A and B are shown apart, each in its own frame.
Chain A
């Protein structure tokens, strides 16, 4: 079991085996990085083809949605009715609110005018108003 080589063996050994392509190092690198190594380029082609098909499908669905009939208009929402519940009654001393004025109008337009005048008088100096305007008009 002599590991030394004679001339004939050295001649044989001088022949250099065809080395691997540079692609092998890339594939080994990918394999050692934990990625699935592409055993054959055609596997990569299949992966790319599958990706393209998936992207095309997504694009088709998006275009179909854009080109389809416009969405039916939503039925108008019933306007929120603000319940305006007029006061059933009021007195001349009630504060100037919309409900009070509504109640006065329901009684009569003249009553509303009298009430408005009364409230105006309460905000302004008394000498600017004629004397006939009294609270009695509101009764």
Chain B
């Protein structure tokens, strides 16, 4: 059941916050930048949520739009400064909580996640950590549901192959 109510935005933020930040970090790897994006997107979403269904898909769509806007402005700035930002690894900081039982597994997942094509990675993030259905992912990314499902399968196959040798403990 989706959280609702006029004053219930903290519930929304607490429930989806980690996935929203993770989703934004595909374009803005630094956590602080990702939070700026989520902040802007969440406010936009909350003010207009009544006009968009499904609401969770719309929330992630807002984050994506804000992230792409942020990326465009940053790209212009980076060009002016001749910054070789594109050569940096995608996730310079951990994107998942520390996993004491198997840090190797966590690091490997982050590494392989950053190697995925962006259109596959965003579907994977929405599905696994955003808990969206393929139908909702299709709405959020403005792609057919089948396309969302096939991108997810490609991403999952890639991770299976590349994480085969790093099986999680336990």
Contacts and interface: CB of A to CB of B under 8 A. Distances in A.
A31 B44 CA distance: 10
Contacts of B19: 17
B38 interface: yes
B96 to A, nearest CB: 4
A37 to B, nearest CB: 6
Contact of A17 (B10, B129, B160): B129
Interface string B19-36: 111100000000100011
B contact patch SS: helix
A20 B10 CA distance: 12
Contacts, number: 81
A61 interface: no
Nearest to B168: A11
B43 A17 contact: no
Contacts of A1: 134, 145-146, 149
Q: In the complex, which range does the number of interface residues on chain A fall in? A: 20 to 34
A12 B128 contact: yes
B109 A12 contact: yes
B128 A37 contact: no
Nearest to B106: A15
Given A8-B156, A12-B109, A28-B13, A18 B94 contact: yes
Given A13-B128, A17-B95, A18-B18, 15 more contacts: A8-B160, A9-B156, A15-B96, A15-B106, A17-B22, A18-B22, A18-B95, A19-B18, A20-B20, A23-B35, A24-B38, A27-B39, A28-B39, A28-B42, A37-B40
